Amino acid sequence: MLPIPTLDNSLYFYNYGNVESAEAVTALSALAQETRLSIFRLLVQAGPEGVAAGRIGETLDVPAATLSFHLKELAHASLVSSRQEGRFIYYSVDFERMAALMTFLTQNCCQGMPQECLTVVETALGRCCPPEPKRKPARSRP
């Protein structure tokens, strides 16, 4: 029987750093397409309430099938989430994820003085959309 390898601290942090980089690459790849970037910016502008899928398509003049594909890619990158209200599906930006991506991109900025650029980022995010309190899942009644 082969021994099971253990995960020491240095390997853990090495792997964790790679996962973080991989997540950033996934998010940036999703945004590196003109239609998806336009969708994302529209949703950022809309704020936490989001926008109905049909309204996104109308506003950006994107056919439903194409819109569905691009929203799937943004959701796969964890940049947007959806919720259904009646017959409509609303999409909104995951602002915490967006802030985490921006933090990742700037964590080593300004020669070890991140407060120089992070203040600008935090101020911009604060004006846009303050963090929402976490919602508790609804309980089902027996």
**Residue 86, pLDDT score:** 95
**Residue 91, pLDDT score:** 98
CA distance 82 to 36: 15
**Residue 11, pLDDT score:** 45
**Residue 105, pLDDT score:** 81
DSSP letters for 93-128: E-HHHHHHHHHHHHTT-GGG-THHHHHHHHHHHHHH
Residues 6+ apart with CB under 8 A from 80: 39, 40, 43, 71, 74, 91, 92, 93, 94
Fold of 23-128: Arc Repressor Mutant, subunit A (1.10.10)
**Residue 17, pLDDT score:** 46
**Residue 9, pLDDT score:** 42
Ranges of each domain in the chain? 23-128
**Residue 29, pLDDT score:** 96
**Residue 58, pLDDT score:** 97
**What CA dihedral angle connects 89, 72, 93 and 51, to 10 degrees?**
-30
Copy the structure tokens of residue 139.
Answer: 């309980």
Is the CB of residue 36 less than 8 Å from the CB of residue 120?
A: no
User: Tens of pLDDT along the chain (142 residues)?
Assistant: 555 544 444 443 344 444 588 899 999 999 999 999 999 999 999 999 999 999 999 999 999 999 999 999 999 999 999 999 999 999 999 998 998 888 888 777 777 666 666 666 665 666 565 555 555 555 544 4
Nearest to 108 by CA among 29, 22, 17, 27: 17
Sheet of 88-93: strand order equals: 51-52, 88-93, 80-85
